[in-house]
Structure 1
């Protein structure tokens, strides 16, 4: 029995996805969450997850940060991004940041089932038309891949402008531990300041243009 985690904060869309999944995988086990913190809780609680269907615009996430963190935390678990932002650049960035597939929220219902079967079989599923590869995003993905999941969390909170003490409170860490993480993040990302690291993290956000 395969376990599928559906991460989307819109109840009606989540229900539609779950219905489509049950049609495609009648014997599958479906889990649903509505925020980044709930995604992380599910990853901690579930020893085996075979696939994640991930919305990019959930509470607690900054664009592709959820995808990058998920790939760092559980690199063996394939991720299909499901998003209403299906601009070619968004699709290409999803692929460069480690997604195994991309399905637009405006796609026919059958596309989701086809994508799920393809990715579970070890393949990938992306629209035929997507933007050209970006060397900037490739470099960013490579730099972020050096960070541990906890360092990624610290980076995302840095991007929100939080101080070390506030980050420590958010993550349940000692302030000195946060300082160590911040130092490691700056070194690995080749950033001279917290501000520079924050700007880098914010580049993970989604383009507003359609």
Structure 2
């Protein structure tokens, strides 16, 4: 019996994905998360899951950051990215960041079923209209992705809070830890990212955005 994780913050689409999973894998155990924090807890509790369906845009992460982090922490977990983005470039960047497949949110159920079967069989999967020559990641984006992958789950949470502009006091309150603990995480994050201040931390995280700053997510 397969264990499948779904991470998406839209309840209706999360339910639609769950129905598609059960159509592809009758009897599968499906576990869901509606934020990156919930996903990190979910993956820690189901580290041997067979598949993760991951939305690119959820509370707690932007762009490819969650994909890069999960890929680094759980290299054996196949990931299919699901997104409202229809651009081939977005799909190919997801594959370059370690996803095994890409599903636009406009895809019909039978296409999602085919994607799930293909990835579980060990193949990569893209919608027919997105198949083509993918471009390699920019070296700076590839480097940042590798550095984000090396963060612990708690460091990753702090990174995303910094990217959202939260102060150390706010981060400490939200995580239920002391400011000294947040500062220790900050020091470790800056070391792993190869930067020297929190502004550079936020800029590094922006390298993994799907769209330029100021473009609303889908």
Q: TM-score range by the shorter chain?
A: 0.7 to 0.9
Once residues 70 and 47 of structure 2 are traced to their aligned partners in structure 1, the CA distance between those partners, rounded to angstroms, is 14
The aligned residue for residue 54 of structure 2 is 54
TM-score by length of 2: 0.85
The aligned residue for residue 199 of structure 2 is 195
Q: Give 3-state SS (helix, strand or coil) of 2:165's partner.
A: coil
Which residues of structure 2 form unaligned runs of 5+?
Answer: none
CA contact (8 A) 1:118 1:124 kept: yes
The aligned residue for residue 93 of structure 2 is 93
Once residues 143 and 32 of structure 1 are traced to their aligned partners in structure 2, the CA distance between those partners, rounded to angstroms, is 27
- Structure 1 residues 42 and 143: alpha-carbon distance in aligned structure 2, compared to 1, 3 A threshold: closer
Deviation sequence 1:46-98 (CA, Å, 0-9, x none): 35321111111222322222222322443321110011113122112212322
Instruction: Give the superposition deviation at 1:26.
Output: 0.9
CA contact (8 A) 1:96 1:141 kept: no
The aligned residue for residue 13 of structure 2 is 13
The aligned residue for residue 25 of structure 1 is 25
Instruction: Give the superposition deviation at 1:131.
Output: 4.3
The aligned residue for residue 141 of structure 1 is 145
Once residues 66 and 47 of structure 1 are traced to their aligned partners in structure 2, the CA distance between those partners, rounded to angstroms, is 16
Residues 61-80 of structure 1: matches in 2 within 5 Å? 61-80=61-80
Once residues 162 and 20 of structure 1 are traced to their aligned partners in structure 2, the CA distance between those partners, rounded to angstroms, is 37
Instruction: Give the superposition deviation at 1:21.
Output: 1.6
The aligned residue for residue 104 of structure 1 is 104
- Structure 1 residues 43 and 142: alpha-carbon distance in aligned structure 2, compared to 1, 3 A threshold: closer
Deviation sequence 1:150-203 (CA, Å, 0-9, x none): 222221111122222222222233322221221121122121221011111123
Instruction: Give the superposition deviation at 1:115.
Output: 1.3
The aligned residue for residue 125 of structure 2 is 125
CA contact (8 A) 2:3 2:51 kept: yes
Q: Give 3-state SS (helix, strand or coil) of 1:80's partner.
A: strand
Pick the aligned partner of 1:177 from 181, 203, 217. 181
CA contact (8 A) 1:52 1:78 kept: yes
Q: Give 3-state SS (helix, strand or coil) of 1:106's partner.
A: coil
Once residues 174 and 152 of structure 2 are traced to their aligned partners in structure 1, the CA distance between those partners, rounded to angstroms, is 17
Instruction: Give the superposition deviation at 1:130.
Output: 5.7
